Amino acid sequence: MDFLRFLAQYRTPAADVIFQGITYLAQEFLVVTLICWYFWCSDKKQGYSLGFAYFTSGLLVQGLKITFRIPRPWILDPDFQAVPSALSGATGYSFPSGHTQSITALFGTLCFRVRKGILRVLSFVVILAVMFSRMYLGCHTPKDVLVSFSVTILCVFFTHHFLYRKDITKGHEMLTALSMALICLLLCFYAVLLSRGGIITRDYAADCVKASGAGTAFAAGFYIEKRFLRFEAPSSVKGKVLRMVWGLLGALLILEGIKPLIGVSLAASFIRYFLAVSWIITFYPLLFTRRFLHKS
């Protein structure tokens, strides 16, 4: 908290806007969009590498959040005030940082992938900038961001080394999918159990349930695509753009369109995110497999 109070002394309206903009780089939409780009249009293997790093680190961070249940800085110290514009995006517990996890999964994966040293440095700078922005805005302590970075970079290293370079999942797609799905369902059960026991609120449990639904769909889609779909990326720029536009619109329609129909319960949250990621990984790719196009 002392470091956050130190930073708060030097806040200015202009800096508030700048660091709020930097923290937006870690939004879920940007990461998912890049996963879709790689998976649908560019490098499917890289899409899987980024997806596994993002979802596995997200599951770990959410599990740590509801286990340690450390409040936000302004709750720990009522005299401390965060930047008001950052409060709406600071949901859930403080430890570890979800924004740090998101940006580290994205740019950490890119850092391992690119060959030019300058691009690696820039990737690392973006990660550090987001980490610092979370502390400047008063949303996280240094412990929150450092632990999140450490957990996520280990996931990134594992997925890059063992899934992208060596591809240890080859021939073991079902085991990989079942292992990840089991972890997702265990986290979901854990969150619901804590919620029903009155240990955490429904809102805090919802973040874990959403991550579990998304991760389970990703695991199932990984197996289905590897074994049955095996689609190819479009060769033309126009084809890539159209595939991205229609795919993202479909995912957004599922995520938000069915919300009024099924409500906002924990079960509904799991279903929404499961269906949205299933569209991205399974149902939408089915539309551009050779088998489907031939039948059409």
98-112 per-position pLDDT tens digit: 999 999 999 999 888
Element housing 44 (H / E): helix 44-68
Q: 117, exposed or middle or buried, with CB in 10 Å at 0-12, 13-18, 19+?
A: exposed
133 CA to centre of own chain: 18
Percentage above 90 pLDDT, the chain: 65
Percentage above 70 pLDDT, the chain: 98
**147 and 192 housed in the same domain:** no
**Is the separation of the CB atoms in 225 and 278 below 8 Å?**
no
Is 294 a member of any domain? no
**What residue numbers bound the domain in which 262 lies?**
173-289
**108 and 206 housed in the same domain:** no
**111 and 177 housed in the same domain:** no
**114 and 184 housed in the same domain:** no
pLDDT at 179 exceeding the cut of 70 = yes
What pLDDT is recorded for position 293?
Answer: 47
Q: How confident is the model at residue 291 (pLDDT cuts 50, 70, 90)?
A: low
**5 and 118 housed in the same domain:** yes
**1 and 147 housed in the same domain:** yes
Structural domains of the chain, count: 2
Whether residue 13 has a cis bond before it, omega within 30° of 0:
no
What pLDDT is recorded for position 250?
Answer: 95
What pLDDT is recorded for position 249?
Answer: 95
**22 and 153 housed in the same domain:** yes
- Which of 150, 168, 186 corresponds to the end of one domain? 168
CA distance 206 to 157: 28
CA distance 124 to 91: 25
CA distance 69 to 63: 10
**Is the separation of the CB atoms in 229 and 286 below 8 Å?**
yes
Q: How confident is the model at residue 244 (pLDDT cuts 50, 70, 90)?
A: very high
pLDDT at 4 exceeding the cut of 70 = yes
**23 and 127 housed in the same domain:** yes
Is 50 a member of any domain? yes
What pLDDT is recorded for position 166?
Answer: 78
Structure tokens at 160: 């890059």
Question: Own/partner pairs for 12-15, CB < 8 Å, 24+ apart?
Answer: 15/136
